[in-house]
A and B are shown apart, each in its own frame.
Chain A
Amino acid sequence: MYHLRPRGVLACILGVALAQGLAVAAPATRLITDAAGRHVAIPENVTRVADPWHANNAMVLMLGGAAKLVATSLQAKSQPWLRRLYPPIEAIPAAFNASGDVNMETLIGARPDVILMAYDGSLPKWFAAVDSAYQIPVVLMPNTSLDGLKTTALLTGEVLGPNELGVAREFVRYFDANIQRVLQVTGKLSSSARPKVLHTSSPGILTADGRQTVIDDWINIAGGVNAATVAGNARPVTMEQVAAWNPDVIIVGSAPNPQNRQAILDDPRWREINAVKNGRVFVNPSGAYLWDRHSAEAALQVLWAAKLLHPAEFAGLDMGKETKLFYARFFHHELSDAEVASILNSTPP
């Protein structure tokens, strides 16, 4: 039989009281359901955000949460328009690089409350370490469709806070309105009236962006059909496959610039392609990020693409005006005419 020693009992009572006290002092959390179906617990009040997803940094800026950025990726820091719109990004440490590697010390040193990351079905390389060893919450967001882009905007807003969420909702309304504006015309088009569109990278390496991508989505919305029958982003294809597809319109994306467009026009191998014969080769605009990829400016991309593919039906659409309005409303930046031109032609500011 055991004696209840008075000193032992006192120790137990104190221990329990301490634990309760600690629980009360711990910060409040909320649960977010991310794109991978995970329930992630993040602080009630998020003040420090790490965003290794370079495309999403512009989104964070647009939603008004840029001041909360404490760690980003190397690529995001080198986007010319992002630097122009948000100069303090220079000082933000780049804890992530292109191959998906993370500098753990930099990341931990930045003490983020949460990490925002793209999710295409597979987890990033550093996920296991960050999630289990360091227990920093990671919110995964979709990146393979325009609908996913809207979800990303809302999720990002939700993570950042009520103000940002409000902006996100406003953005999604704007985006949907643009899509509706376009679909009203293009929704009625027959398949024969839809030009075949090839979205490619620079001729240095010939690639095509195919089905089940963001690009495929906006091509369809804008009233075209994707000439590339492959699936996925940036699939390498042969010149003669391109000749077999024979697109009506070529859009130079990924590394969009006037030189790459000119290279296609000058190259004898492209001579007999419909798009080249009819002079319908274009450079995709790029601003805070590439418009044609998973960017906030995708809202402008659908307008631009629709006007490109069906100029007659969208004669009243003024891309310069639309761009200025968007930047003023969401980036709080007044664009000069020269800046608008540089965005639409994809030249650096």
Chain B
Amino acid sequence: MNAPLIEVRDAGFSYGEHAIFRGVDLDVYSGEVLTILGPNGCGKSTLLRCIGGALALDEGAVRIENVDLSSIDVRARARKIALLFQDHTPSFPYPVLDVVSMGRTPYLSAFGAPSSQDIAIAEEALEQVGMRHLKNRPYTELSGGERQLVLLARTLAQQPAVILLDEPTAHLDFKNQVRSLQQIGALAQRGATMIMTTHDPNQAFLFPGRAALMRPGGSLAVGAPSEVITDELLSAAYGIGVAVLSIERRDNLGDLKVCTPWYNWPHKK
């Protein structure tokens, strides 16, 4: 195996007295999509933010491309890591192209503005996510799904080593969830390295890469999705029973694995 792109060693984080997670060890390899699962409150978003440098770890360290994250400044960090937050509140009605161009900011000087080259890169990123036709639209006028794709394009414009996505499908409707996941899949096909948190275990089956199940307290079960998304592990973590089914695809592109919970209905009287 290659050396991991990102190494997390003994990571711990607390809000005041309340410890969110402790002793977390994680490796992320180049070209994989690591999906982090876990119940609400287990700290997966917090862990993601720590890996991304948005929050500072209380214990342990994160190394990316062999460099300690806490030793580099904000700009250098932004050139290595791009973050897609789930809680984005739009402010001004900037044109879509301007929003994506913001992804080039880590490469600008303190008083700089995007050059024509930067704008070309931004347009290319929009093209990749299939949103180029909307480049002059005010981005506040876009639907939730379209806005998500624009922000995804922005992370591409950053040309990072790894993209961190925090529950990217959380606020999207069914159609846009699919659209979003297909884009992420297309990026994965092109070799992008991504870490994604999600509350839907099924998403782990969609992309090449491993899954990490986070349990309260911070212990992680890491492995191939089929190893991690099992009845025993999920019921231990979520407290619910699941069944993992294999669905044959007609076009012979391999099986689609689906995980579904066992529902317990009260007995009819």
Does A touch B (CB under 8 Å) in the complex?
no
A: residues with CB less than 8 A from B are none
